[in-house]
Amino acid sequence: MLDGPPNVNRATSLLGGLAVIAIAVVFIVNFQPGGGANQLKAGPECAGEVLGRCIEGNHFWATYKLVAGRSENDAEHEKWKKQVMDGLIERQLLLAEAKRLGVSVGEEELTKELTSGRLRISLPAAMLASRQIPHAIVPVRERFLDRKTRQFSPAEYKKAIGEFTQLSEEDYREFQRDELVAERMRDLIMSRVRVSEGEAFDAFAQKETTAKVKYVKFAPNYYVSRSVDRSQKAIDTWAEKNVVDIEKDLEARKPHLADGCRQVSQILVRVAKTATADEKKAARDKIEAAKARLEGGETFADVARTVSDHVVTAIDGGRLGCLTKFDAMGQLKNFEAPIFGAKEPGLIKDVVESPEGLHLLQIEKIVTGDDATKATRESIVRDRYLAAESRRVAGEAAKEVQAAVKGGKTLEDALKDHLAALPKPAPAPQPTQPEGTPEGDKKPEGDKKPEGDKKPEGDKKPEGDKKPEKKPEGDKKPEGDKKPEKKPEGDKKPEGDEPKKGPAAPAPTSEPAADPLEPKVESSYSFAITEEPFPDAEGNENPAAAAFALEKPGQVSDRLIPLKGGLTLVMVLEEKEPPSEEDWKKERGQYLDEMRRDRQLEALVEYIKRLRATHQAEIKMSDEFFPKAAGSASAKPEGSAPPP
């Protein structure tokens, strides 16, 4: 390596690894004897001109061949041509600076570097964005050695540089002289950067401090049945203000209305992607029990309200709306075959599986013609209104809780008060009056069961029924001890008879499960400012930065973070933990090196930007090399981004 400031050479060594490896691979693949393109492209002597000095065409093509490899993609070739030219422009600017400052490379040092097998090329400073360096050192010494003696061989050297660059020995020497001088200038620029230990520690503390927050996620669907006005008047008022979006949505569906639309209702039992075998079985049992209730005479709407895990549709008796094949192209694609394969309305007997879980579907009506267009529009309006309004209400709920915490309440108390003030879920009016309810009521409600015990089932049950009547008397006598022994047998018979007299026994009732969408206070893991505790944050939102802006535990963030799916996040600082002195001692050396490296590279990039801006008018490219971009170097002084 060149003699230079130790810190600079150390940084250069650290930075060189990635580029060295990447470009060395190109050598291995493309520059075996006979490999790659063996002829330089014909062209003018100068690829461009910087400050009146020619950028040799053979230097351009030699560099291009080294970095572009065998790519057959024309777009990639053009990108690399621009990268190579930017690198050489920057090299020429640095050479001019070197001449001004009296920086040079002696003949002896140049010879030593050439025979050492380190081949240098210049790449643009813009490549720093991908953590590479603006110049590369490629180890090619193995190709300079005699295969038998393993010593440097002038013959092998001459052969290798011809294969690598297609330059003569003299041209290769001048090519590498320029690269060495440019490298020395880069080292000189970066060597001026200093980083104090105090400055490094402050940056280390900021980077390594961890935070932990309490948070609440407000889900729009939780508020659909509690705070959203679902009246037709509210829906119509919203629709009048959003006609353009509604009609645009309807136009997208019209080409799919040839087969009309299906008024569909659903019962969903969710199955998580990570569900265990037992959880999957429980979900299957639940959906089969719901199916048994339907077959037993209960209305689909009633069962959907009590069973379905789909909050928005459950409150309307499972109503999905009038679905077209357009809807089946999205999240409902699993519904296309069963819904549009049905010839008439009714319950689809087979359970439908989707990524969400298990579904029971019922086609209420098949709608065609103009009625289908009208029904589809109504479904669009209703769905879009519920989505928009529930998001608005959830956002208002988040603001309410946030304001309460700012007013002095804990997050837990603020949320508790908010939930307590919410109205209980109000079921939507039933769209139809169920028919045949007396039969259906016998099982789930049992209102007429006593009468049924005396008449329809009186042949065998009266005796069983009379025994319990005698039981109180038996309780007063010793003989009563024997009657309870017979009673269990009598109790088992009616239970065993029930399945034979009906399609299925009703599912046992239990305490209603907690609403999984109900807002609750949760705690995050400890995270650094460079980490992302909420990867579902929308767009360019940065919850970590918002959390670290908080200073004291219990302080609530001024920002309400929008999350994917329309959720809103309220965040309160729980704790903030700085790194220990022991942590600093362990990381001190490496952190100082890394910070110095970053600062040095930033300084180099800025230095070259200033050079290009200063000499913009004196940077030219050959029309023959860049027919479409002639003169564009001055228009775009910062070069192009690195290839993907």
Domain count, the chain: 4
User: pLDDT digit string (tens) for 363-387?
Assistant: 999 999 999 999 999 999 999 999 9
Q: Taking residues 574-580, what's their average pLDDT? A: 93
CA geometry: angle at 154 spanning 151 and 155, to 5°? 105
Same domain flag for 387 and 489:
no
Strand segments, DSSP code E, in 11-64 are 46-50, 53-56
Nearest to 140 by CA among 124, 111, 116: 116
d(CA 510, CA 248): 46
- Beta-carbon count within 10 A of 486 CB: 11
Strand segments, DSSP code E, in 108-195 are 118-122, 135-139
45-59, 123-137, 605-619: least confidently modelled range? 123-137
Q: Taking residues 140-157, what's their average pLDDT? A: 90
Chain length of the chain:
644
Task: Please name the residues in contact with 73: beta carbons below 8 A apart, sequence gap of 6 or more.
Answer: none
Question: Which region, left, alpha or beta, applies to residue 166 given φ > 0 means left and ψ of -120 to 50 means alpha?
Answer: left
SS3 481: helix
176-180, 181-185, 442-446: least confidently modelled range? 442-446
Half-sphere exposure of 302 (CA within 13 A, CB side): 17
Q: What's the pLDDT band for 72 if we cut at 50, 70, 90?
A: low
d(CA 112, CA 152): 12
Residue in the block written with tokens 């009547």: 469
Is 512 a domain residue?
Answer: no
Sign of the dihedral defined by the CA atoms of residues 184, 185, 186, 192, in that order:
positive
Same domain flag for 557 and 597:
no
Is 509 a domain residue?
Answer: no
Whether 446 has a pLDDT exceeding 70, the answer reads no
Q: What is the pLDDT of residue 139?
A: 82
- Compute CA distances 175 → 120, 127, 203, whole Å: 9, 21, 41
State the CATH number of the domain containing residue 117. Answer: 1.10.4030.10
Whether 542 has a pLDDT exceeding 80, the answer reads yes
Residue in the block written with tokens 């008397």: 473
Q: What is the pLDDT of residue 15?
A: 39
Same domain flag for 561 and 599:
no
Same domain flag for 67 and 186:
yes
Which residue did the predictor score with more confidence, 508 or 139? 139
Sign of the dihedral defined by the CA atoms of residues 403, 406, 412, 413, in that order:
negative
Which residue did the predictor score with more confidence, 301 or 137? 301
Nearest to 92 by CA among 139, 47, 136, 61: 47
Whether 124 has a pLDDT exceeding 80, the answer reads yes
Q: Taking residues 639-644, what's their average pLDDT? A: 34
Q: Taking residues 609-624, what's their average pLDDT? A: 92
d(CA 175, CA 188): 20
d(CA 72, CA 91): 27
Q: What's the pLDDT band for 546 if we cut at 50, 70, 90?
A: very high
Tokens describing residue 495: 């239970």
What percent of the chain lies above the pLDDT cut of 70? 74
Q: What's the pLDDT band for 335 if we cut at 50, 70, 90?
A: confident
Same domain flag for 49 and 138:
yes
Q: Let me know: does 210 contact 577? Beta carbons within 8 Å.
A: yes
Nearest to 267 by CA among 296, 287, 297, 281: 287
Structural domain including 526 reads 210-219+518-581
Same domain flag for 180 and 246:
no
Is 513 a domain residue?
Answer: no
Longest dimension (CA), the chain: 125
Strand segments, DSSP code E, in 341-401 are 346-354, 357-367
Is 204 a domain residue?
Answer: no
Q: What's the pLDDT band for 130 if we cut at 50, 70, 90?
A: low
Tokens describing residue 312: 């928005």
188-192, 427-431, 581-585: least confidently modelled range? 427-431
Instruction: Provide the 8-state DSSP code for 39.
Output: S
Whether 162 has a pLDDT exceeding 70, the answer reads yes
Q: What is the pLDDT of residue 427?
A: 52
Tokens describing residue 63: 């560099």
Q: What is the pLDDT of residue 440?
A: 40
Q: Let me know: does 538 contact 562? Beta carbons within 8 Å.
A: yes
Angle between helices 169-191 and 107-116 (to 10 degrees): 100
Is 575 a domain residue?
Answer: yes
Nearest to 402 by CA among 281, 275, 546: 546
Whether 604 has a pLDDT exceeding 70, the answer reads yes
Q: What's the pLDDT band for 78 if we cut at 50, 70, 90?
A: confident
Whether 553 has a pLDDT exceeding 90, the answer reads yes
State the CATH number of the domain containing residue 358. Answer: 3.10.50.40
Q: Let me know: does 51 contact 93? Beta carbons within 8 Å.
A: yes
Amino acid at position 17, single letter: G
206-215, 463-472, 506-515, 598-607: least confidently modelled range? 463-472
Give the highest mean pLDDT range of 47-56, 195-204, 395-404.
Answer: 395-404
Q: What's the pLDDT band for 123 if we cut at 50, 70, 90?
A: confident
Same domain flag for 243 and 360:
yes
Whether 18 has a pLDDT exceeding 50, the answer reads no
Q: Taking residues 409-428, what's their average pLDDT? A: 87
Whether 82 has a pLDDT exceeding 70, the answer reads yes
Q: What is the pLDDT of residue 102?
A: 95
> For residue 527, what is the enclosing H or E element?
strand 527-528
Same domain flag for 491 and 383:
no
Nearest to 89 by CA among 46, 132, 120, 119: 46
Whether the full predicted model's pTM is greater than 0.75, yes or no, is no
d(CA 216, CA 478): 63
Same domain flag for 548 and 598:
no
Q: What's the pLDDT band for 336 if we cut at 50, 70, 90?
A: confident
SS3 397: helix
Whether 479 has a pLDDT exceeding 90, the answer reads no
Whether 469 has a pLDDT exceeding 80, the answer reads no
Q: What's the pLDDT band for 39 if we cut at 50, 70, 90?
A: very low
Nearest to 365 by CA among 329, 323, 313: 323
Is 33 a domain residue?
Answer: yes
d(CA 411, CA 520): 10
d(CA 137, CA 1): 10
Q: What is the pLDDT of residue 521?
A: 97
Is 607 a domain residue?
Answer: yes
Q: What's the pLDDT band for 333 if we cut at 50, 70, 90?
A: confident
Q: Taking residues 486-511, what's their average pLDDT? A: 46
Is 601 a domain residue?
Answer: yes
Same domain flag for 281 and 193:
no
CA geometry: angle at 146 spanning 145 and 152, to 5°? 45
Task: Please name the residues in contact with 336: beta carbons below 8 A apart, sequence gap of 6 or more.
Answer: 325, 328
Q: What is the pLDDT of residue 135?
A: 57
Nearest to 4 by CA among 92, 101, 94, 105: 105
Which neighbouring-strand residues pair with 215? Answer: 522, 571
Hey, what's the torsion of the CAs at 596, 601, 606, 608, to 10 degrees? Answer: 140
d(CA 68, CA 19): 13
Q: What is the pLDDT of residue 343?
A: 84
d(CA 236, CA 570): 32
Same domain flag for 478 and 537:
no
Same domain flag for 314 and 368:
yes
d(CA 108, CA 111): 5
